[in-house]
Amino acid sequence: RYARWIDTAAIGELAPHTDEVNDQQITAANVVVLYANHQPTDIVEDLHSGGYCGYEIQLWNTGPAKLFRDGLAYDLTWVRTQRKDLIRLVGADGIVFPFKPGNTWFEVINLGSPNTLANGVFTARFKGLPQTLYCPLPPTATPTPTATVTP
């Protein structure tokens, strides 16, 4: 099984990512990393921290993927030709690659995000275009109605 870790307030320090219900570290039999283009949008998602906007994660057509299972890493391709399709992982031969029975954790990272696999540890850092460059100014307060209409 693979254990999930998250960043802490101290740069470079990790802590176990735990389940809020049972306080156990999150683990998975399979870990899939999907590499997909992240396009900044003008949809404001966070007004509390400076007006950051979201990303459109372009999970259609194909892209690179990694599957971690049974202590091994496999370089694969994810495929999703139509919006209604499920994402499939295929090998170089085009055949769907099987998962190990059990749960699966999917992690989606940007195509340009730095990532490493060293000494059995896979690390990825999100790297996208700066959100604030594309994000509109925070919306103004809703105006107070100046008149009412009665039926």
State both tokens at 89.
């992982």
Q: What is the Cβ-side half-sphere exposure of residue 26, based on CA atoms within 13 angstroms? A: 15
Q: What is the pTM of this model?
A: 0.79
CA 86 to chain CA mean position, Å: 16
Per-residue pLDDT of the chain (151 residues; tens, 9 = 90+): 999 998 888 877 889 999 999 999 999 999 999 999 988 888 877 777 666 778 889 999 999 999 999 999 999 999 999 989 999 999 999 999 999 999 999 999 999 888 889 988 888 877 665 555 556 655 545 555 554 444 5
Residue 107 contacts residue 113 (beta carbons within 8 Å): no
Listing DSSP states for 73-124 in one string gives EEEEEEEE-STTSPPEEE-TTSPBPPPPSS-EEEEEEETT--EEEETTEEEE
Radius of gyration for the chain, computed over Cα atoms and rounded to the nearest angstrom:
20
Contact by Cβ (8 Å): 77, 83: no
Q: In 3D, which of 104, 112, 103, 102 has the Cα closest to residue 67?
A: 104
